């Protein structure tokens, strides 16, 4: 049985950062550059050096391909909960969280891969 896989973005804004929190985030900023962000099961945090906004990228397993599809709602909620937990673990405030999901099983297979008989 093949599972759905979702890519989930969780975006938001930092809120109420104190000087100590800003210093910690700025010291870690090179590790959290948008260029290095990847979709992972644990989640990857990226933020701008101005410490205004952030993005988490998650890869979340969903239900079976042949089962009902909730449009990624469960994947989005799971990713959102993980993002909130990670932000709380860092001790930073946030606001305006929003999610966007992409069902990878719904993506078309590129023609160059179809011709070879492989899948993405």
pLDDT, tens digit (0-9, with 9 covering 90-100), for 67-116: 677 778 999 999 999 999 999 999 999 999 999 999 987 766 566 655 55
Q: Would you say the pTM of this structure is higher than 0.75?
A: yes
The pLDDT, as a whole number, for residue 67 is: 67
- Round the CA-based radius of gyration of the chain to a whole number and report it: 17
Encode 26-64: b = buried (16+ Cβ within 10 Å), e = exposed: eeeeeebeeeebebeeebbbbbeeebeebbbbbbbebee
The pLDDT, as a whole number, for residue 29 is: 92
Whether CATH 3.30.70 fits 3-116:
yes
**Which region holds residue 108: left if phi is over 0, alpha if psi is between -120 and 50, else beta?**
beta
What is d(CA 36, CA 44) in angstroms, rounded to the nearest whole number? 9
How is the chain split into domains, by residue range?
3-116
Which has the higher per-residue pLDDT, 63 or 16?
16
36: number of CA atoms within 13 Å, CB side?
11
pLDDT digits (tens, 9 = 90+) for 12-60: 999 999 999 999 999 999 999 888 899 999 999 999 989 999 999 999 9
């Amino acid at each position: 049985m093949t599972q759905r896989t979702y890519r989930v973005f969780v975006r938001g804004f930092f809120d109420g950062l104190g000087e100590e929190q800003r210093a910690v985030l700025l010291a870690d900023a090179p590790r959290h550059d948008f260029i290095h962000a990847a979709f992972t099961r644990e989640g990857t945090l990226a933020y701008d050096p101005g410490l205004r906004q952030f993005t988490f990228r998650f890869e979340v397993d969903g239900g079976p391909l042949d089962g009902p599809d909730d449009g990624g709602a469960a994947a989005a909620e799971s990713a959102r909960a993980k993002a909130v937990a990670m932000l709380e673990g860092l001790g930073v405030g946030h606001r305006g969280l929003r999610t966007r999901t992409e069902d990878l099983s719904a993506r078309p297979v590129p023609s160059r891969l179809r011709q070879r008989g492989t899948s993405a």
